[in-house]
Amino acid sequence: MDFHKKHIVFESIRQQVEQAFLASGSELAGLRELARETADAVEALSPVIERHTSAVCPDCMRVCCVNRHSYHELGDILYLYSLGERPPDYRKDIRDAEPCQFLGERGCRLMRSLRPHRCNWFFCAPLLDRIQSLPAREYRAFIAGLEEINRKRERLITAFGDIMRKGPAIPGI
């Protein structure tokens, strides 16, 4: 998608979600707990992931954090507003193929629970190899943690859809 059009589409979606949260107040506020549980589950896995990224990423020749991955998608935006957060302000002067605008010297500058879901769900081959070499019990716990995050996120998105279907129509949602 054209660079500027992408920003316009993103901003339109963000505003519609924000409007939905403003219009549906208390009902959507009920999603806060589910979003908090999702965030906690993401942060709980973070030390394990960081243990492995700190081993494989410093020598990486094809860093995966390019700017096209920096944008939150609809499910992320719903989750962020449910959490009482909002997507970051994106810079409009960075092209898709350039290093991600949130990439700092010590990795991603966003808290893991505020990153796009695709970032937390991406495991390159060297990273996956390392994680798969964990002791069986630890590996199973890690996979269970990932599955739990996905389940909670899906529940949140479904709950949002259910509330929207019952409530006042929000254009575009």
φ/ψ region of 167 (left if φ > 0, alpha if ψ in -120 to 50, else beta) reads beta
The residues facing 100 across adjacent strands are none
Q: Which of 23, 48, 74, 108 binds ligand SF4 (CB under 6 A)?
A: 108
Q: CB–CB of 155/34 below 8 Å? A: yes
Which tokens hold the place of 22? 């403003």
SS3 content of the chain, % helix, strand, coil (to 5): 65, 5, 30
Q: CB–CB of 32/147 below 8 Å? A: no
Subset of residues 26 to 55 that bind ligand SF4, contact rule: CB under 6 A: 53
Kindly indicate which of the ranges 26-34, 99-107, 135-143, 146-154 contains the residues binding ligand SF4, using the contact rule CB under 6 A.
99-107
Taking CB under 6 A as the rule, does residue 126 contact ligand SF4?
Answer: yes
In angstroms, what is the minimal distance from the CB of 9 to ligand SF4? 18
Taking CB under 6 A as the rule, does residue 149 contact ligand SF4?
Answer: no
- Give the number of residues in contact with ligand SF4, rule: CB under 6 A: 21
- DSSP code of 68? G
Binding-site ranges for ligand SF4 (CB under 6 A): 53, 56-57, 60, 62-65, 69-70, 100, 102-103, 108, 110, 115-116, 119, 124, 126-127
